[in-house]
A = this chain, B = another copy of it.
Amino acid sequence: MKIVTAGIILIGDELLSGRTQDTNLGTIAKWLAPLGVEVGEARIIADDADVISRTVRAFSDRFDYVFTTGGIGPTHDDITADCIAAAFGVGISERDDAMTELRTRYAEDELNAARRRMARIPDGASLIKNPVSQAPGFQTKNVFTMAGVPSIMKSMLADIGHRIEGGAKVYSRTVEAPNVGEGDAAKPLSDIEKKFEGVSIGSYPFFNAGLHGVNFVARGRDAAVLDEVEKDLKTLVKTIGNL
């Protein structure tokens, strides 16, 4: 089955300064997994028109799907729509269908020039519904442009799912190994990974409130194989752990 990938572009100076903690990457990745789409890379970029356009263009060529978040509001720092148009060399203008969406929220006298900016959509794009605050996102070729505010971004995904043609799903199995040192598990863990083709095993140490240990996470596209891997991992934990 086909492997389908996505690239995610998180746009905003506030993410790079540390003022705002991104959560959109995780939300999108977890939403994509059951659709059979794996996130290949994510970039967090500044509110810089050239960088946005270049990144969108490169990701559109490299991944099956691209998701952008941020920069589609009414203020001067909301430049994403223009950058998407520039990336694909198409025009951009205020669109009637987008104005119709805005009118479900705003009275006519509230629709000043700033708010009407949110109806500016690149030529040829289709809208993405925004049930939270109505200003729409949009799809240009394989690029989905969404809001940055997490609750709004999440609400837009409902109007994107049916546009995604997924491939082989990635399944995962997590086996917790309390009191196990990563270094003691490393060799047998690597042996297990080698034994099963198409399976990758990650090893993630944890330190919580006096507890420490490792989570082993096996990922792969064949659920039956992963069941076997899980058995081996559990045996490994019993063998080396102080259980």
- By a beta-carbon cutoff of 8 Å, the part of chain A in contact with chain B is 12-23, 25-30, 33, 38-47, 51, 73-77, 106, 110, 112-115, 117-118, 149, 151, 170, 172, 181-187, 189-190, 193, 200-205, 207, 217, 219
Contact = CB atoms under 8 A, between A and B. Distances in A.
A143 to B, nearest CB: 18
Nearest to A20: B204
Given A39-B16, A43-B42, A203 B73 contact: yes
25 contacts: A13-B219, A14-B217, A16-B25, A16-B29, A16-B39, A16-B40, A17-B29, A17-B30, A17-B38, A17-B39, A18-B27, A18-B28, A41-B46, A43-B43, A43-B44, A73-B203, A75-B203, A76-B193, A77-B200, A110-B183, A112-B184, A112-B186, A112-B187, A113-B186, A117-B186
A147 to B, nearest CB: 9
A182 B38 CA distance: 35
Nearest to A147: B205
A14 B51 contact: no
A41 B42 contact: no
B114 A187 contact: yes
Nearest to A193: B76
Contact of A17 (B43, B187, B219): B219
Contacts of A45: 41
B200 A115 contact: no
